Amino acid sequence: MWILGINIGHNGSTALYNDSELVFYIEEERLTRQKYDGNPFAGIDLAYKYTDHIDYLAICSTSNNFPMVPWNTEDVYSSVIRKKQPGVRFETVPAGDIHHLTHALTAFYNSGFDDAAALIIDGAGSGSLAHDDLKTSTWEVESIWSLEYPNVYKCHYKQYGTNMSDSFNGEEDGVPIEISDAHGITKSYEAVTSFLGFGPIEAGKTMGLAPYGKPDNNIKLSEGRFTNRAFIKPRFPAGNLIRADLDPKLKELDGIADWHANPELVGEYRKDLAYAVQKSAEDRVFRLIRKTIELTGKKQIVMAGGFCLNCVANYELLKEFPDVEFYHEPISHDGGNVMGICQYIYRTVTENQIRTPLTSLYLGPDTDNRYENIDFDGFDVEETDAKTVAKLIADGNIVCLYQGRSEAGPRALGNRSILFDPTVKNGKDIVNEVKRREWFRPFAGTVLSEKANEWFDFRSRKDSPFMMYAVDVLEDKRDIIPAITHVDGTCRIQTVTNEQNHHYYSLISEFNEIKGVPILFNTSFNLAGEPLVETVKEALKTLKESDLQYLWLPELGKLVTKNSFEKTN
């Protein structure tokens, strides 16, 4: 049974399943090089390289409006597939109106837990006009579920956002619901992020700035679990806004981006605002976790939705709830929903109870001709090994690593990574400049799994293979790895074993032999504003267009160096 899942919207993506086996998952932007590409036609084409017919097509979306073919009742994606497999019947499953449920299904099936509660937090999920009491549009923002095999789910609680100032507490199909314009952890985060001059969904940048700030009692973003309307203007389903129009001081700072490149222009207020929204979000998530335990009675909790990428809050949850077993879904943005719906379809049709925990994020297309017809013109290519590359890094060079299938989700985990020595004092500034990122943004690291506890405090977790936590660096180790220790003493860290990634593990082991540090500085292989590189050709292009000089291709045993002609031109 071939099941194709696509997500349309700002995280366009495709997943192909053969029964319960995930064949590939990819975000459309990786294939088309257009950031946030929302129309996964290239993903559909790719699926047909693996099979010539699809049995089920599941269409996920942030909203429930699908582009329809004019004069027809067919959506454009079904139309494309019908033409690719004429005469072969397939079922379309429109999953646009169950957005939070698809987040919950993805996290549940990927967790491998036998049964679990799910807490979903995102910006604005499925829209609904069903709430007659209010006669207004509403969007899912936060919800609590319980899930069991093969395909059993129950919603226990849901919050909706609206752009009307009326509010509603009641029930819908027996589920307690609340509707208010003052809901929305993610929406508050978006408001601050926009105010700081970033795109509303670039929350990670605000999260990176937050530890530079301090508490300021005048910045009151929330009142308990509600958004403070005096400070934030609700604007569902678009991003909320800081009410800068009410305060001349705020108006002057609103959206100004000069400080992104110059730390001297940042000012205390912006840092404190970022700090405030992070703390306010954490407080509100703590409340929701308590509510999840209260309503479901479960201590195995999976989380998904865009906010689940907040690795700082994820770690705070480990501290606050030591007896809860968490699974934070690594592909928690909307793109990941295709996995949940495909698995749900398989289990609904077959009643199969097979567990398929996500054990690897190397889920990009597995093409065996990855290195065919590559033009290395402009580069020197020589034989190399992990030891030589480790020495190159230990000598202060930035080295790009390209191998195997690309990583799903936003984190590079050693298949499409840019690597550096974490012991270099100003390493963060050096790499931020090369990657053309903002000065305040921290960098992540990768540690040999068996050494992880000697350097980091993982709280209740034994590892972090998907880099979902910004953990405390042990105090006596912070000065040793300044390039990846953020101002608050944390580091977003990946643990790696030889089985998970042989070449990357070998490289870090060799680096440890030289420096006595079993850790590498690891950032995604792309330049600011660009998708992660997918192909070798794109990897070489990135070197050509930047100050990056070295590329290690361990599957070929080659080191590629930009030659002097390219360097001076």
**Distances, alpha carbon 211 to alpha carbons 60, 90, 186, in Å:** 35, 51, 18
Quote the least distance from Cβ 161 to Fe ion, whole Å.
12
**Distances, alpha carbon 167 to alpha carbons 132, 136, 170, 180, 357, in Å:** 12, 10, 10, 5, 39
Quote the least distance from Cβ 294 to Fe ion, whole Å.
24
Based on CB atoms, which residue is closest to Fe ion, 197 or 204? 204
Based on CB atoms, which residue is closest to Fe ion, 95 or 559? 95
Based on CB atoms, which residue is closest to Fe ion, 122 or 142? 122
Quote the least distance from Cβ 197 to Fe ion, whole Å.
24
Based on CB atoms, which residue is closest to Fe ion, 75 or 122? 122
Quote the least distance from Cβ 309 to Fe ion, whole Å.
11
Based on CB atoms, which residue is closest to Fe ion, 266 or 339? 339
Nearest alpha carbon to residue 260 among 221, 219, 206: 206
| Calpha distance 181→235 (Å, rounded) | 8
| Distance linking the first and last C-alpha atoms of the chain | 53
Based on CB atoms, which residue is closest to Fe ion, 334 or 407? 334
Quote the least distance from Cβ 440 to Fe ion, whole Å.
27
Quote the least distance from Cβ 307 to Fe ion, whole Å.
9
Quote the least distance from Cβ 143 to Fe ion, whole Å.
11
C-alpha neighbours within 13 Å on the C-beta side of residue 476: 2
Q: CB nearest Fe ion: which residue?
A: 122
Based on CB atoms, which residue is closest to Fe ion, 101 or 484? 101
Nearest alpha carbon to residue 156 among 138, 178, 136, 139: 178
Based on CB atoms, which residue is closest to Fe ion, 117 or 520? 117
| Calpha distance 317→324 (Å, rounded) | 9
Based on CB atoms, which residue is closest to Fe ion, 142 or 334? 334
Mark residue 506 as left, alpha or beta (left: phi above 0; alpha: psi -120 to 50; beta: remaining). alpha
Q: Is the peptide bond before 150 cis (omega within 30 degrees of 0)?
A: yes
Quote the least distance from Cβ 338 to Fe ion, whole Å.
12
Task: Work out the angle at residue 198's Cα, subtended by the Cα atoms of residues 196 and 204, and round it to the nearest 5 degrees.
Answer: 95
Quote the least distance from Cβ 306 to Fe ion, whole Å.
6
Q: For 2, phi and psi rounded to 5 degrees?
A: -100, 125
Based on CB atoms, which residue is closest to Fe ion, 62 or 549? 62
DSSP alpha helices (H): ranges in 212-331? 248-253, 267-296, 311-320
Quote the least distance from Cβ 184 to Fe ion, whole Å.
12
For the chain, count helices (H), then strands (E): 15, 27
Cβ 416 vs Cβ 533: under 8 Å: yes
Based on CB atoms, which residue is closest to Fe ion, 11 or 227? 11
DSSP alpha helices (H): ranges in 70-151? 76-84, 99-111
Binding site for Fe ion (CB under 5 A): 122, 334
Quote the least distance from Cβ 11 to Fe ion, whole Å.
8
- What is the distance, to the nearest Å, from the Cα of residue 396 to the centroid of all Cα atoms in its chain? 29
**Distances, alpha carbon 304 to alpha carbons 92, 398, 448, in Å:** 24, 34, 27
Quote the least distance from Cβ 125 to Fe ion, whole Å.
5
Quote the least distance from Cβ 199 to Fe ion, whole Å.
16
Task: Work out the angle at residue 405's Cα, subtended by the Cα atoms of residues 400 and 407, and round it to the nearest 5 degrees.
Answer: 75
The residue whose two tokens read 């027809």 is 72
Based on CB atoms, which residue is closest to Fe ion, 107 or 419? 107
C-alpha neighbours within 13 Å on the C-beta side of residue 493: 34
Based on CB atoms, which residue is closest to Fe ion, 122 or 282? 122
| Calpha distance 307→94 (Å, rounded) | 24
| Edge-first strand listing for the sheet containing 399-402 | 379-383, 558-562, 550-553, 399-402, 416-420, 519-524, 444-448, 490-496, 470-473, 456-457
Containing H/E element for 182?
none
